[in-house]
Structure 1
Amino acid sequence: MELEMNEMNEAVNLPDFSKKKFLHPLDVAEARALYLRGWWFARLNSVPVLVAIGAVVWVATNDLFAALVAPAGSLAIGLLSSRWFIARAWDYIPRKRQLNEGAGRWRVIASVIDAVAILVIAAVVIVSIQTAAPDPGVIAFATGSGIGVALVQATELFAGWKHGAENLETAKRLILLAAVVVATATVGLIGLGTVWGAWTIGTVAMGAVTVVAAQTIFWLASTTLHRGRLA
């Protein structure tokens, strides 16, 4: 391994081990461009961005098939490209010196892009509400789902803060939480307007409970799997 590290240092001129033990591709000139290409492919094919693209295509063309195909094709190409570029970037750094938690500033930028996409989705939903007048029950459930997502994000934010999450990670979560809250509140207020009653509140609650329950099951499954690996 020491020989490999020496060869790697000669090939790409890694920072001195005594000065910086762990490295991220952004710390290595030869790897930086590859990593950022992969990062952009990943960002432009994140779930919020793809949903936003699909929503815009749907409203622009009134064609559900096109709205589904456009993001699906982009997702396939984007994921493969992102994984390839990022993997090649990490190849420049010996495994024992890899810093997987780096690129904090870029993670915040990623959250800003996703937040903008969430707001675009909300805007498209509002346009659809104004033009198509969908069933209030659908809007109520969607609003509740947004509230559920916000509750999950708030829980993760609190848990991260309690366990000493770094400032950039906290900022990332705050940005996404703010976007979800604004989007959900806007859709709920404009979409439902004055159509609030016991049934509306019940449907909103159902949407929230559905998301929270799904996330709770995921958390429990992840915890069980993690404990199983440690056993």
Structure 2
Amino acid sequence: MLKVIAVDDEPSALSDIADRIRGDDRLRLVGTALSAVEALEIIPQRKPQALFLDVQMAGMSGLELAQATKDLKVVIVSAYSSHALDAFEVDAIDYLLKPINQSRFQEAVNRLVKAVDLEAALIRARPSRADSSTTLVTAGRDRQLIPAQDIIAVLADGDYAQIIPANGRSMLSGLSLKQIEASLLGEPFLRLDRSTLINLSRLKSFRTVDRVKMRLFCDGLDGSMLIGRKAATTLRNHLAAGLKGKTPE
């Protein structure tokens, strides 16, 4: 069961969403809050995995709360459709309009469960760091060998490839993406599409963006990396394959 907290400054609306959460055996309501500030106070103690929250609230808004709790999944519940674009800016799993339709609520829960399961699969299936193999990087006349374990991603750049190293600026390699992929000998590297190769051992978490794209958060990467539909689908399928035959923790 996923642990969730409901947040809404209208008591009747809070009671409604709380009852729906209690009625779904995939969810466990671990707290409710009548303001974003109150939610911030109880989150460290209750340790939820997701928030169902309103947007317009006195003081701190729901969107500000979502930005302050980026490690948590978010489902927006609002009386206004005008905040939908803002919701996707904070990588909300779904956007429910009040009064809540029960079938739409169940659809949102389906998406939430799937997102959490995929991240759990990532943690279970994350391979060990790459071995001691290296790849060639050029910088003008200089040549540099980069340990595979220090590579976060490799991106195609014409006939060559940009290497994104941990805690450093991207560098142009004298090799193509295909040549680098061959030299890295498979896991923990995964080819996502024609132009993207990632080191799964560096991947910490991800968030779906605009329903089809994905933002990746990696160890050693300042910020995040955005990937498109095809690459995101490849990663989801890879992680989903790891879920088969396994019982969720």
Is the TM-score greater than 0.5? Answer: no
For normalisation by structure 1, the TM-score amounts to 0.21
Q: 1 or 2, which has the higher helix percentage?
A: 1
Q: Which has the larger radius of gyration?
A: 1
